[in-house]
Amino acid sequence: MKKKVLAMFLATTMVLSLTACGSSEKTPATEAENAATEATTEAGGETTQASADAVTINFSFDQGVGEPTQKIVDEFNDSQDEVHVNCVILPQDAGAVHDDFVNKLASEDTSVDVMALDVTYVAEFGAADWLLDLGDYFDSTTTDQYLAGTIEGATYDGKLVAFPWFTNASALFYRSDVLDELGVTEVPTTYEEWEALAEKAKGVNGVEYLASFQAAQSESMVCDWVEYLWNHGGEVLNEDGTPNINSEANIKGTQKMVDWVNDYAPEGVTTYTETESEQVFLAGKSLLIRDWSGFWSSANAEGSDVAGKVGVTTLPVGEGGAEGHSCLGGLDLVVNKYIDDAHKDAAIKFIKYLTSYDTEKEMTLIAAQPPVLKAVYEDADILKEIPFYADFYNVIQGGKSRPLSPSYSKLSDAIQRNVHEALTGEVTVEDALNALQAEAESLQ
């Protein structure tokens, strides 16, 4: 008797748990019917839309460019009925996006077809052999129309494993009202010229610091640091790819960064990524900020205390440097190698659309992301909307990429730790770069 009751109790719990799961599964299914765009994400490979013969592909990208991208995808879906694109949006965090893609690709998952991948990870994904070779779909007359640096960055081991979508370059934003007040007519071009303004600018229109930038232990700091090196004539790697980190020029460049952390920036700059550094500038506390080109719109947006008082110029040059080089970023489009041919063709069709003249132009206008198609920089509408793009083309042409290597994540991690220690004064610049050199050599 007892046993029976117990067994019944057990059965009830089981049934309860089953029904709880069973009924809940129905909900997404009905959701799916409502949202006609739904594709079963687990089996993207087999699913096509019931209504038409369209192939449904899943496009995964981050919320950083979420809204404008969604708009462009909608336009694509409306423009034709062969391919239907479903958006899988991830948080705006390059690390989280990377991890999500790794998880899926490492398990040969086909739930995503096209991914927007940060340029620094292309070599890594290429080395892991997860990406479709796009070389067969894009010939050199096509690729020649795009910025050479971005095509180079999309190539791994001689294969075009990605296609550039948009790029990103840094620039120096400054308070034009303060320069006017100080009677400065020529915008400074060297670190020293800016330093000379530091004392004078203090107290003018609320300015307290010369500079705000990104020096927290993070990927953003790596971008800032390589710029200091380049602009002092340094390089991270030799032509042959071997590390050359503790060179004269690199020591000089790193020392300049340390000086700016110590003497010209808020005390907390070694904890700043983009957000925190921007808040200092937006509150009117710093004369200049090194940031990505897209900051132009936030600087002039609602909530900014400095709207209309912002100028933009190239990064400063230091001793031994020839010109101010920006660090290039941006997103590439990659195709999952494991999907079937029908999906591959659909994916290529979609990528061609995204990188076409009209779409690149629209994306530039609505998302303020620098395009990769050269011709767009000469477009009259673009120049009317974003006047500084006339000069910006040269900034991007003079821009450089971080080292392209499958083990970039490890190199970047070593840079972050060692350089950050130098910035916080835990170790001397020389010691930090020597240690970094040794670590980089061990990665070879």
Partner 1 sequence: MAMNKKKGKVSLEKAESRAAWIMMAPAIVVLCVIAVYPILRTFWLSIHEMVLTDPASGYPFVGVKNYIQIFQDKRAIASIIFTLKFTVCTVAFELFIGFGAALIMNNAFKGRGLVRAAILVPWAIPTSVSALMWKFIYNDQYGMFNDILYRLHIIDSYKAWLSTSGGSFMALVVTDVWKTAPFMALLILAGLQMVPDELYESAKIDGANVFQRFFSITLPIVKGTVLVALLFRTLDAFRVFDLVSVMTGGANGTESISLYAYNNLMKFLDFGYGSALAVMIFVVVFIISMIYMHFMGDKLDEM
Partner 2 sequence: MNQKNLKVFRKILFYFVTIAFVVVLLLPFIWQFLTSVKPLNEIAAIPAKWIPSKINIQYYFNVFQKHPFGKYLLNSLIVAASTTVLSILIGASAAYALARLRFKGKKIMLMAILSISMFPTIATLSPLYLLLKKAHLLNTYGGLIIPYITFALPMAIWLLTNFFSQLPKGFEEAASIDGCSRAGIFFRIMLPLIKPATFSVGLLVFINAWNEYIYALTFMTNDNMRTVPVGIALFPSNYELPWGDMAAASVVVTVPLILLVLIFQKKIVAGLTTGGIKE
Tell me which of 276, 319, 345, 431 binds partner 1, using CB under 8 A: 276
Identify the CA nearest to 261 among candidates 432, 35, 17, 37. Answer: 432
Range 379-408, binding partner 1 (CB under 8 A) = 406-407
Q: Calculate Rg over the CA atoms of the chain.
A: 25
Angle at 277 between CA 293 and CA 435, to 5 degrees: 95
List of residues 6+ apart from 184 with CB closer than 8 A = 197
Calpha distance 194→289 (Å, rounded): 12
User: Using CB under 8 A, which of 15, 17, 75, 340 touches partner 2?
Assistant: 17
Q: Which does 406 bind (CB under 5 to 8 A by kind): partner 2, partner 1, none?
A: partner 1
Q: Measure the CA–CA gap between 280 and 437, rounded to whole angstroms.
A: 34
Applying CB under 8 A, the span of 90-98, 335-343, 344-352, 419-427 interacting with partner 2 comes to 90-98
Stretch that binds partner 1, among 157-165, 192-200, 279-287, 303-311 (CB under 8 A): 279-287
* Bridge partner list, 243: 237
Q: Which of these segments, 5-13, 108-116, 198-206, 430-438, binds partner 1 (CB under 8 A)?
A: 5-13
Q: Among the candidate windows 8-16, 72-80, 288-296, 343-351, which touches partner 1 by CB under 8 A?
A: 8-16
Nearest distance, CB of residue 103 and partner 2, angstroms: 5
In the chain, the largest separation of any two C-alpha atoms, in whole Å, equals 97
Q: Does 294 bind partner 2 (CB under 8 A)?
A: yes
Tally of CB atoms within 10 A around 108: 10
Phi, psi of 244, deg, nearest 5: -140, 60
From CA 328, how far away is CA 222, in angstroms rounded?
Answer: 12
Q: Which one among 182, 283, 366, 386 touches partner 1, defined by CB under 8 A? A: 283
CB 318 within 8 A of CB 254: no
Kindly state whether residue 427 participates in binding partner 1, applying the rule CB under 8 A: no
Query: Is residue 106 close enough to count as binding partner 2 by CB under 8 A?
Result: yes
Nearest to 172 by CA among 54, 323, 58: 323
CB closer to partner 1 out of 89 and 283: 283
| Binding status of residue 106 toward partner 1 by CB under 8 A | yes
Among 55, 57, 65, 327, binds partner 2 (CB under 8 A): 65
Contacts of 109 (CB under 8 A, 6+ apart): 103, 338
181-220 footprint of partner 1 as x/- string (CB under 8 A): -----------------------------------xxx--
In terms of phi and psi (left: phi > 0; alpha: psi -120 to 50; beta: otherwise), the region of 158 is left
Region for 105 from its dihedrals, namely left if φ exceeds 0, alpha if ψ lies in -120 to 50, beta otherwise: alpha
Q: Residue 62 gets which letter from DSSP?
A: E
Q: Residue 167: which H helix or E strand, with range?
A: strand 163-175
Residue 68 vs 135, nearer CB to partner 2:
68
Task: Give the binding site for partner 1 (CB under 8 A).
Answer: 2-3, 6-7, 10, 13-14, 17, 95, 98-99, 102, 106, 124, 127-129, 216-218, 266-271, 276, 279-280, 283, 285, 406-407, 409-410, 413, 420, 424
The residues that touch partner 2, with contacts defined as CB under 8 A, are: 1-2, 5-6, 8-9, 13, 16-17, 20-22, 24-25, 27-28, 31, 35, 38, 40-42, 60, 63-67, 88-93, 96, 100, 103-104, 106-107, 109, 111, 275, 279-280, 282-283, 285, 294, 297-298, 301-305, 367-369
